Amino acid sequence: NILQIYLKKVETENDIDVDKIAGMTSGMVGADLANLVNEAALWATREDKTRVSMDDFEYARDKVLMGAERRSAVLSDEEKRVTAFHEAGHALVAKKVRGNDPVHKVTIIPRGMALGVTWTLPEDDQHSLSEEQVLGHITKAMGGRVAEELIFGKDNVTSGAASDIQQVSKIARAMVTQFGFAEELGYVDLANEQQSYLGAYQGPSS
């Protein structure tokens, strides 16, 4: 296991859950995992710890995947409220709609370009997705925008769903062009014919 090789290079707490870290880092390559362990160790050092804990790996995962915390980002109380309802929408849909993985973490701490994020993690390794799972991911992705509309009204929905819409568009294209989930088109691979436009769907994210 590549992850275990990198973990041996740092002092960790006794309760480190390697399987959980592996689930948190699904899709990462060796260089990403090395960076993750290094970031976790650096953060632990900054916190005056002698061993790296699960919290440190959580922090490192968020930083590697989304960027450092934007401490300079000063959000108004209203922006925080909107973001909280947006992320709650994602989490609620993930919890209630079949095909979604269990909710792992919800935060409204700004990172990278995101004001908040809802993480879901599979309970077991996943190498393929059913149509139910793909539709579940689409529904979860739009849960944030729907929550904003229900709470604040259609005219007050923010642009916070931009990345969600990009994700949903990519998944929907993949359903039609890669996965054979469109009965009208049948089992035809259209992605390779129009790769520069369609891209390739790699799997669910936040």
**Backbone phi and psi for residue 118, each to the nearest 5 degrees, phi listed first:** -120, 120
Q: Residue range 111-140: average pLDDT?
A: 86
**pLDDT confidence tier of residue 103, bands split at 50, 70 and 90:** very high
The per-residue pLDDT for 98 is: 94
Tell me if 145 sits within 8 A of 161, measured CB to CB: yes
Among 136, 147, 145, residue whose Cα is nearest residue 96: 136
**pLDDT confidence tier of residue 85, bands split at 50, 70 and 90:** very high
Structure token pair of residue 64: 């590697």
Among 61, 47, 50, residue whose Cα is nearest residue 17: 61
Mean pLDDT computed over every residue of the chain: 86
**pLDDT confidence tier of residue 206, bands split at 50, 70 and 90:** low
Give SS3 for 25.
Answer: coil
Tell me if 113 sits within 8 A of 163, measured CB to CB: yes
d(CA 63, CA 49): 19
Structure token pair of residue 116: 């908040």
The per-residue pLDDT for 190 is: 76
Looking at residue 106, its amino acid is V
pLDDT tens string 49-62: 999 999 999 889 88
Q: Residue range 30-45: average pLDDT?
A: 92
pLDDT tens string 176-201: 888 888 887 778 777 776 544 444 44
pTM of the model: 0.75
Tell me if 11 sits within 8 A of 44, measured CB to CB: no
Percent of the chain with pLDDT over 90: 48
Q: How far is CA 123 from the centre of its chain?
A: 15
**46 Cβ contact partners less than 8 Å away, ≥ 6 residues apart:** none
d(CA 131, CA 185): 16
Residues that are catalytic: 87
The per-residue pLDDT for 16 is: 87
The per-residue pLDDT for 202 is: 52
Q: Residue range 145-167: average pLDDT?
A: 94
Pick the more confident residue, 151 or 1. 151
